[in-house]
Structure 1
Amino acid sequence: MKILHFVQSSDASIGGSLTVARALVKAQRELGMDAWLVSLYENPAASEKAVLEPFEICCAAPRKSRWTRGLLALRSLVRRLQPDVIHHHDGILWPRLACLGLGIAKVSHGHVGAPAALFFSSAWWTHLVTLMTTHHLIAISSWVAESWASSGMAGSKLTVIPNGVDRRRFFRRKADVRRAVRSRLGISEGDTLLLWAGRLDRETKGLDRLAGVSKCLSPQVKLVVMGDGPDGAWLKELLADQSLGILPVFTGMVEDPAELFGCADAFLFTSKVEPFGLVLLEAASSGLPIYAFPCVGGGSDLLEKFQAYVGDDADYTKLAAAVSQGVATLPVESQKWLGDLCSWRSAAVSCAQVYADVNMASASARVSGDILGQH
């Protein structure tokens, strides 16, 4: 069975959907599945690389002419590759229209909840087409599944498959590695390295909370912000205006985030809305106690699972003091839970069952159509 996973681009700053798609493709290929990652748009930074991963394909659709040249290019690519299943990780309309009428089973990945769209807006049309063309939707949490069900997706077409974490990458690093990484960041051995990681998006990731905590941290706590996004410049400007004695260390996107997770002492989570919370899995797998604020979505379940310290909303002083005192702990049993349930291999196996079901249903529908056509 051949599966094409569609993502918008190979630019890591687009968020968790690319991380999930890449991890699933790798795990599926390790299981012997013919899985491929298709980037819809060309990423200028990626185009400079001499070699791509062997399972990555770039459609290189031009954004400005995606409805003409892009749509035709993607449709031609799909026809040439002849997949059994198309797995959409994007939330955009034109790639779904490009695949209409090709007789291919379509799976959508619910990385976020169903959109609250104005009537006849572009988001409304995208949601409508998604409902009409999706044979099955994989939700990353019960919260996401409930959101889609309330927006019109039939319950029989919904399956919850949690994200995984690669425990071969996300683990506690040895003392010599920790010293080297901390030295590179200018952090002394006796200081607490508090890590924040994610897409720098002001509304969903709670960057105002991040800035508020930064102002209240003791000098012995060094905040490291890992990631990039549309509001990175806004955050840096806000922190500069606060006249902090010690500014956070901004790493931008890093080649291997697992190393920094493995060298940190604690993890800071400021999201206001988090459909799942992949970074929470990565932090827990790395043995980090978690400090957070209340959030909406599946992420709140993980905060409870990992016994995170959840401070009062906007009470930055209290949370900063909790970090200094080291009040949060990671339960020992969480490591077993991660190993048993939250692996990309188990997610890949669950996805394979969804593919088999929708492919069989799609094939049956084609046969029925052929028989009716003959009569």
Structure 2
Amino acid sequence: MANNNVLMLASVASMIDLFNADNMNILEKLGCRIDVAANFSNGSITSQERVAAYRRELEVRGINVYNTPIPRSIFKIGDIINSYKQIRKLTKEKHYRIVHCHSPIGGVVARFACRKARKTGTKVIYTAHGFHFFKGASLINWLIFYPIERLCSHFTDVLITINQEDYSRAKTWHTCDVKYVPGIGVHTEEFRKESVDRVALRNELGIKESDFVFLSVGQLSVRKNHEVVIRALAKINNPKVKYLLVGFGELEDKLKLLAKDLNIADRVIFSGYRGDVRKILHVVDAFAFPSLQEGLPVSLMEAMSVGLPIVCSAVRGNEDLVENGKGGYVYGCHDVDGFAEGMSEIVAGKGYEMGRHNISVMEKFDINTVNKIMTELYKDNIR
């Protein structure tokens, strides 16, 4: 294999846009020519306008883009089969040195499709952004996803895990080279030095200067569990404590109705998708992250990097980042009273020292640390 062609693959385009820019820059510096395969039509967590713009950006850079119908549901068998055929054809034609795949379904499809290519020298790297089986996960998740991931590990050269629970579990399989990498890396210095007009942006978001604002960033979905924070907010008898949700999703109407039913509709702000999250982080007072499931959450790391105190759920990934009582407060996913207590403590003034602690914690998750690890990993697999 004389070429240095690399395929970067994920289920949806936003996974590559948001989480792999630095990886692609590293590969280009190493002399690799990159192709991208993902679903550019459906499923991205950013807006379709952003997806279209991202595709144009890639094409301007000379990167080949393959719109692959990888679904986010395991029940869309037709799309999975078509994606498998397309990726297998690509690997046969391009003789990739590396195929780096992401996301559960994309990772499974790619690894099955690359079985023959591996015999002729292609190295398959899979980044697990959080296994669907974990402590506390449903039995159905364990019955479906655990055997699939373990089987696919036999078709994997390097399995990258980004939290300690996944790393420990994957190491027991003894099927491939398992690496721990502390996330995708956060540009902590850039986030901290972001310039922002605090008064103007708070006005735009409908926030008064006297308000104390908790922020959540992410899809309005069952997995992100925003309901527990809304219910906790209703228990805090202070009209100046508010909750800002940045993102969109299928639960938006339900969450708005819940806030109305709890008589706090004027304290819950739905901003929709925003492209200026790093600025918003500088105009809020704390960060709420009540997810039911995480790998190693980027939005939480970004909030910590600017010194925000945290109230979050006690799940894998969150607990890798937030030490209860030091960087914030950690509670069970459905502990409304706990979230209300933690939020009240932060409003009362406990947040400043927590924010300073979080800035220190984020040094080990900084982009420079992660990029050094990924550079060596890519070098090892290009040789």
Give the TM-score band, short-chain normalised: 0.7 to 0.9
Q: Give the Cα separation in 1 of the matches to 2:64 and 2:256.
A: 35
> Is the alpha carbon distance of 1:26 and 1:200 closer, same or farther for their aligned partners in structure 2, counting shifts above 3 Å?
farther
1:144–1:298 contact (8 Å) kept in structure 2 = no
User: TM-score normalized by structure 1?
Assistant: 0.80
Structure 2 equivalent of residue 368 of structure 1? none
Structure 1 equivalent of residue 110 of structure 2? 95
The aligned length equals: 349
> Is the alpha carbon distance of 1:237 and 1:100 closer, same or farther for their aligned partners in structure 2, counting shifts above 3 Å?
farther
Q: Give the Cα separation in 1 of the matches to 2:199 and 2:328.
A: 27
> Is the alpha carbon distance of 1:177 and 1:59 closer, same or farther for their aligned partners in structure 2, counting shifts above 3 Å?
same
Range that drifts further, 325-334 or 248-257:
325-334
Q: Does 1:58 align with 2:69?
A: no
The one-letter code sitting in structure 2 at the alignment partner of 1:7 is A
Q: Choose from 199, 206, 221 the match for 2:219.
A: 199
Q: Does 1:84 align with 2:83?
A: no
The one-letter code sitting in structure 1 at the alignment partner of 2:114 is C
Deviation at 1:142, TM superposition (A): 1.3
Q: How does 1:36-185 map to 2 (within 5 A)?
A: 36=34, 38-43=36-41, 45-46=48-49, 48-49=52-53, 51-53=56-58, 54=61, 57-62=64-69, 65-92=78-105, 93-103=108-118, 104-113=122-131, 115=133, 123=145, 126-150=148-172, 152-154=173-175, 157-163=177-183, 164-171=185-192, 173-174=194-195, 177-185=197-205
Range that drifts further, 123-132 or 111-120:
111-120
1:91–1:126 contact (8 Å) kept in structure 2 = no
Q: How does 1:250-265 map to 2 (within 5 A)?
A: 250-265=270-285
The one-letter code sitting in structure 1 at the alignment partner of 2:186 is V
2:8–2:36 contact (8 Å) kept in structure 1 = yes
Q: How does 1:1-375 map to 2 (within 5 A)?
A: 1-11=4-14, 19-26=18-25, 28-29=27-28, 31-32=29-30, 34=32, 36=34, 38-43=36-41, 45-46=48-49, 48-49=52-53, 51-53=56-58, 54=61, 57-62=64-69, 65-92=78-105, 93-103=108-118, 104-113=122-131, 115=133, 123=145, 126-150=148-172, 152-154=173-175, 157-163=177-183, 164-171=185-192, 173-174=194-195, 177-202=197-222, 204-217=223-236, 218-293=238-313, 295-304=314-323, 307-310=326-329, 313-315=335-337, 316-328=339-351, 329-330=353-354, 332=356, 334-339=358-363, 341-359=364-382
Deviation at 1:81, TM superposition (A): 3.9
Deviation at 1:11, TM superposition (A): 4.0
| Percent of matched pairs sharing the same residue | 20
Q: Give the Cα separation in 2 of the matches to 1:200 and 1:353.
A: 37
> Is the alpha carbon distance of 1:158 and 1:68 closer, same or farther for their aligned partners in structure 2, counting shifts above 3 Å?
closer
Structure 2 equivalent of residue 364 of structure 1? none
Structure 2 equivalent of residue 369 of structure 1? none
Q: Give the Cα separation in 2 of the matches to 1:82 and 1:94.
A: 17
User: TM-score normalized by structure 2?
Assistant: 0.78
Q: Give the Cα separation in 2 of the matches to 1:264 and 1:210.
A: 16
The one-letter code sitting in structure 2 at the alignment partner of 1:109 is T
Q: Give the Cα separation in 2 of the matches to 1:165 and 1:307.
A: 21
Q: Give the Cα separation in 2 of the matches to 1:338 and 1:112.
A: 19
For structure 1, the 5+ residue unaligned runs are 361-375
Deviation at 1:168, TM superposition (A): 4.7
Q: Give the Cα separation in 1 of the matches to 2:33 and 2:341.
A: 47
> Is the alpha carbon distance of 1:55 and 1:220 closer, same or farther for their aligned partners in structure 2, counting shifts above 3 Å?
farther
Give the SS at the match of 2:57: coil
For structure 2, the 5+ residue unaligned runs are 43-47
Q: Give the Cα separation in 2 of the matches to 1:310 and 1:37.
A: 42
> Is the alpha carbon distance of 1:37 and 1:143 closer, same or farther for their aligned partners in structure 2, counting shifts above 3 Å?
farther
> Is the alpha carbon distance of 1:248 and 1:260 closer, same or farther for their aligned partners in structure 2, counting shifts above 3 Å?
same
Q: Give the Cα separation in 2 of the matches to 1:25 and 1:200.
A: 29
- Cα deviation, 1:304-351, whole Å, max 9, x if unaligned, reads 189223165321432332232121233546535534x32223323312
1:308–1:330 contact (8 Å) kept in structure 2 = yes
2:98–2:382 contact (8 Å) kept in structure 1 = yes
The one-letter code sitting in structure 2 at the alignment partner of 1:142 is Q
- Cα deviation, 1:195-246, whole Å, max 9, x if unaligned, reads 11123332x4332322212323421122111123443343233223323252
Aligned residues: CA RMSD: 3.2
1:138–1:160 contact (8 Å) kept in structure 2 = yes
2:306–2:359 contact (8 Å) kept in structure 1 = no
Q: Give the Cα separation in 1 of the matches to 2:367 and 2:101.
A: 18
> Is the alpha carbon distance of 1:330 and 1:2 closer, same or farther for their aligned partners in structure 2, counting shifts above 3 Å?
farther
The one-letter code sitting in structure 2 at the alignment partner of 1:40 is A
2:125–2:156 contact (8 Å) kept in structure 1 = yes
Q: Give the Cα separation in 2 of the matches to 1:78 and 1:256.
A: 37
